[in-house]
Chain A
Amino acid sequence: MSTAAARLGWGKLAWLALALLGAAAFAVIALARGETVNALWLVTAAICTYLLAYRFYSTFIASTVLGLDPARVTPARAHNDGLDYVPTNKYVLFGHHFAAIAGAGPLVGPVLAAQMGYLPGTLWILVGVVLAGAVQDFLVLFISVRRDGRSLGELIRSEMGNTAGVIAMIGVLMIMVILLAVLGLVVVKALVGSPWGLFTVAATIPIAVLMGVYGRFIRPGRIAEMSAIGFVLLMAALVAGQAVSESPDWAPVFSLSGETLALLLIGYGFVAAVLPVWLVLAPRDYLSTFLKIGTIAVLAVAILFVMPELKMPAVTRFIDGTGPVFPGALFPFLFITIACGSVSGFHALVSSGTTPKMLENEVQARFIGYGAMLMESMVAMMALIAASVIDPGAYFAMNSPAGVIGTTPEQAAQVVSNWGFAITPDALSQIAADVGEKTILSRAGGAPTLAVGMAHILSNLLGGKALMAFWYHFAILFEALFILTTLDAGTRVARFMIQDLVGMAVPGFVNTKSWAANVIATGLAAASWGYFLYQGVIDPLGGINTLWPLFGISNQMLAAIALILCTVVLFKMKRQAYAWVPLLPTAWLLICTLTAGLEKLFHSNPAIGFLAHADKFSAAIANGKVLAPAKTMAEMSRVLVNDYVDATMTAAFVAVVIAMMIAGAVSVARALALPRISTIETDPGLGEAHHA
């Protein structure tokens, strides 16, 4: 046997061994009954899946489906300006791209989905990322790179027509509104009656202003210095927060109700979005980006060292749809609840944003598009692990609405124990005391659960029980920080989109120099997500219950739109033999989003269907009865209005998806009718001429 052959043989053997190891890990996590499973098995199964998918499936897409061409000139080379278009080292660009796609989504969804056990979530995260999420990110990046780094909206307009472009834009605006509302709700839920948490999160505003002034006037552009100052102040605020929470004078000042917090947040979103970017948004963005990457890295290391046991069962009885965290059965609602981490439409915006303008060579689209999404999926796996290492009784007490489990540890322990997750009232009070909070009951929204899980893991790595409260509030701060950044940035984006859309009818409205137009559009943006946020806060079923499925549906819907675009482009390239690569996930996402959307509208169970819920309330109003959660007739009518607004929103999502399906089918039919390639890629030769 020659050396080369031996090497080839060893390579194949290594991949085979990896596949066997992955299969063994899957067997352990899927077949475990009765005894706890170590989190490392989940990590092993995930990493084996990622490596195999990257080595084989992404290579197949790169060379056979897309025919990536290493000799082709990328936009970064063609339009190199040292600013937006810069050929960038692929590892540096990977970091940039990952930081842009990683956010709150993969942290919240898996935590909520843990109510069905860790296994369904794990399988969907892994299968979803390999066949849908990473494929979408990779294909959109490829399409954008071959078209001068154009954005998703522009790509849809040029490949599928103006109407499709406008519909997609309205869809994206609706998603923004729901996304900002649900993220706001996550923050509110984490900070209600938590002086420690609220103090530290509030402190980030003056800290950001200080950093902003420093980086603008005192030492212009010294990012490392301003970030270091910000980080030190942030940690100081975290320590001071404990003193605040123990002070009889200050604790009440920072113990606010959900309603007050929601109004403050809406006001903040409006003000922050009209202030100059260097003052609050940019400096806090720097802090939250570095903190996010740092915390993810620390958590990954901690899981490897601590090797926690999963206490959540592999599968719980709530796969039947009766779960308290979110209503609805495994199909389709698991696939809606875990959006980011498996597949996220938002990444299509990033993949067609700054990244395609910095790609050195188009073959690197595989490493950056497909690879970064695998890493994002790993973040979702870590969130799932963090939620599964907590005692299941505590998990359900934290994530079930007060309307279901009551408001005292005694009631909660009894209800949750009756579900089969034994827990004592003392244990619930003890966890609250450990993390430095008065109560942990009904803190839905994912962030607090994740924070307890992270505190559990991180305190095992460093500090033990003594530092548990510190780690808990650190985790809350880490999430709140980048959620606030998203609220601020998102309100600005929504404002621009509103100006664009309204501008189609009233041309003067587009003028970004007009203060009146800016303030009106910003107000509209903040009011629209604020409406849903406030509605979620006063909802006694916790709000997350209603809003998260709406967000999941909308995010998956955007992914479906992006994948429809990818399918159309493959047909136009006359590569339809491989159109199944984007079509397979498109079909699955369409099935899930449409089923979930229609169930949210028409399901006969009032806990799931908005219209059934509205019927129940309007019948009660007709009989002069007041139903919980409402306490007065006026509140009854408000519940009814909310139901109709939610139903309208869902119907609009469904309509957008159907319109895009039709637009996609029409474009495919046209492409098939033409004998030649009908998509226009930028001529790579042109760009070089610019600088020659």
Chain B
Amino acid sequence: MRERVAPLLRRLSETAMLMIGVPDYDNYVAHRRQHHPDEPVMTYEQFFRERQDSRYGFGKGKFKGCC
């Protein structure tokens, strides 16, 4: 039971986070380690700020819609 519920909860929290524009941090770290091993990796706090600024940075056509 536990083995089934845990991944489901993880997916749900991943969904909730992505709804507000924050993708999976662990995935980001894994990506940086694998493809850019010599470059620095943002801490979670830096990552969160970067995502927040990016979501509301509103470059062209970045509006999140209304309806």
Interface residues of A (CB under 8 A from B): 80-84, 86, 88-89, 91-93, 95-96, 99-106, 151-154, 176, 179, 183, 220-221, 223-224, 277-278, 281-282, 285-286, 289-290, 293, 339-341, 344, 346-347, 349-350, 352-354, 358, 486, 489-490, 492-493, 496, 500, 555, 691
Q: Known interface pairs A89-B11, A340-B67. Does A293 touch B19 (Cβ–Cβ under 8 Å)?
A: yes
Contact A493 B19 (CB under 8 A): no
Taking A81-B31, A346-B65, A349-B65 as contacts, is the C-beta distance between A96 and B60 under 8 angstroms?
no
Contact of B65 among A93, A290, A350 (CB under 8 A): A350
In the bound complex, residues from chain A placing their C-beta under 8 Å from that of B35 are 80, 691
Q: Please state if A221 and B48 are interface contacts (CB–CB under 8 Å).
A: yes
How many chain B residues touch A (CB < 8 A): the figure is 42
Given contacts A346-B65, A353-B64, A490-B63, contact A82 B15 (CB under 8 A): no
Residues B32 and A82 in contact, CB atoms below 8 Å apart: yes
Complex alpha-carbon distance, A277 and B11, angstroms: 27
- Structural contact, B61 and A100, CB atoms closer than 8 A: no
A344, B52: Cβ atoms closer than 8 Å? no
Q: How far is the CA of A340 from the CA of B17 in the complex (A)?
A: 25
Among B16, B50, B53, max chain A CB count under 10 A is at B16
Contacts A221-B48, A289-B20, A293-B19 given: A346-B61 contact, CB under 8 Å? Answer: no
14 residue pairs bridging A and B, Cβ less than 8 Å apart? A80-B31, A82-B23, A82-B27, A82-B32, A92-B18, A95-B16, A96-B19, A104-B67, A221-B44, A277-B52, A285-B56, A344-B67, A353-B63, A489-B58
Q: B3 to chain A: closest CB distance in Å?
A: 18
B4 contacts chain A at the CB level, 8 A cutoff: no
> How far, in whole Å, are A354 and B20 apart by their CA atoms in the complex?
12
- A691 contacts which chain B residues (CB < 8 A)? 35
Q: Are A289 and B19 in contact (CB under 8 A)?
A: yes
Residues of A within 8 A of B24 (CB): 86
Query: Does B55 lie within 8 Å of A282, measured CB to CB?
Result: yes
Bound Cα distance from A88 to B27, whole angstroms = 10
B20 / chain A contacts, CB cutoff of 8 Å: 223, 285-286, 289
Cβ contacts under 8 Å, B62 to chain A: 151, 353-354, 493
Tell me, in angstroms, the Cα distance from A118 to B59 when the chains sit together.
Answer: 40
A340-B67, A344-B67, A347-B65 are known contacts. Are A83 and B28 too (CB-CB below 8 A)? yes
List the 8 shortest-distance A-B pairs measured between CB atoms, nearest first.
A105-B67, A151-B61, A221-B48, A340-B67, A82-B28, A95-B15, A82-B31, A277-B56
In Å, the complex CA distance between A291 and B60 comes to: 28
Q: A285-B56, A496-B60 are in contact. List 17 more A-B contacts (CB 8 A).
A: A86-B28, A89-B14, A92-B15, A100-B19, A151-B62, A221-B44, A277-B56, A278-B49, A282-B52, A347-B65, A353-B62, A353-B64, A490-B63, A493-B58, A493-B62, A493-B63, A496-B59
